[in-house]
Amino acid sequence: MSVSMRGQPWLEASATRAVMGALETAGGPGCARFVGGCVRNSLLDQPVDDIDIATVLTPDQTMAALKAVGLKAVPTGVEHGTVTAVSERRPYEITTLRRDVETDGRRAVVAFTDDWAQDAARRDFRLNALYADASGTIFDPTGGALADAAAGRIVFVGEAETRIREDYLRILRFFRFYAWYGRGAPDARGLAACAALKAGMARLSAERVSKELLKLLAAPDPRPAVQAMKEAGVLAQVLPQVQPLTLFEALCDVTTDPVLRLSALLPADATAVAEISGDLRLSNVQRNRLTAAVAEGPVVTPDMGVVQARAALYRLGRSAFEDRLARGEALNRGDGARLRRLAADWTPPRLPVNGRDLARLGVAPGPETGRLLKAFEQGWIAEDFPTEDHEARLQALIAQRG
């Protein structure tokens, strides 16, 4: 069975035609086909970001074919058969058809082949094993992908247990693709295999796990997938300190931000969050953001007054203020639009006094300077950042020392 995706802008683009033309000049018509996400997303009327191509040409033949027509060819992963073509500044990842020779649950040793069915058989899900030729005609070697697309099913290619043992990251990918493309209940066999083999995920690098988890949480509505992960025991395997899903489910109505959604799955404890962030090998930016969202400090709620909100914004900074506001919206079922506009429009002022001002008033440098500046700042914030009478306020604080 074959259908067509003719008319897709990316398919008709001159840059794409140049790449496919180069490959077919070298290997003949049909020697290269689009594969994976670009075909899947075109079929599902979803945006296409990356364009992957499979070919019977070897990496050396691919490189020569591209260079022969003046296209840039980058050997990005030739040991696995991958060359990146650059056409009109757009990358196209081209990979020779492969079959697995050896797998260990993390990586595979592959051999090149010219058999499209063998290449399809090593892929994770039937929905990702769709191919399309240069004309846009879609091919379904597994015999189930087109039906899966119509039904919103994520089904492993062949035996689910076999695919998972080849790479345990496929457990998370099962739930990630279900979050993005699934409808109805998850595939029962796939779900059972994920639950049975979840302990194998301990073999994976933290970087691969966190990257896949954040992609899952970026789905428009990841709640059914996360609930399925919890019931299968997979969520606790990834996040041993995972919290009840109440806040997470509410927060999904407030934000699509995957990092903020992740914060709702973690304990409301900055020390614990910092430790978990380290275990997941999150970036420093992500770790700092997660800890700031739950650290001690002002509580931000949608109904707080302007003066109180400006004080919180001054102490927290805009990013942490907005993250705490989103969590507050989820907890209180309120609308934070008013405070979000405040955060966008109001710039917290700098503290208008410093140690030199105190020295000019007779306070010798030392611990007392810090204490007086802190006291001034607290009063200045409480009075909503007045712009006048700073020296008089300092003098009053100095007078109170005795």
What pLDDT score does 332 carry?
87
3-state secondary structure of 281: coil
What pLDDT score does 225 carry?
98
Locus of tokens 């969520």: 235
Do residues 273 and 243 lie in contact, with contact meaning Cβ atoms separated by under 8 Å? no
Question: What whole-number distance in Å separates Cα of residue 96 and Cα of residue 81?
Answer: 5
Contacts of 56 (CB under 8 A, 6+ apart): 27, 31, 32, 96, 97, 114
What pLDDT score does 327 carry?
96
What pLDDT score does 1 carry?
42
What pLDDT score does 7 carry?
85
The pTM assigned to this predicted structure is 0.89
Q: Which CATH superfamily is domain 157-238 in?
A: cca-adding enzyme, domain 2 (1.10.3090.10)
What pLDDT score does 5 carry?
84
Q: Give the domain ranges of the chain.
A: 1-151, 157-238, 242-341, 355-399
CATH topology of domain 1-151: Beta Polymerase; domain 2 (3.30.460)
Per run of 10 residues, the mean pLDDT along the chain (length 402 residues) is 77 97 96 96 92 96 97 90 96 93 64 93 95 95 94 97 95 98 96 98 96 98 98 97 96 97 97 97 97 94 95 96 96 92 96 95 93 95 94 92 67
Q: Over the Cα atoms of the chain, what is R_g? A: 28
Phi, psi values for residue 21, rounded to 5°: -65, -40
Question: What whole-number distance in Å separates Cα of residue 119 and Cα of residue 128?
Answer: 11
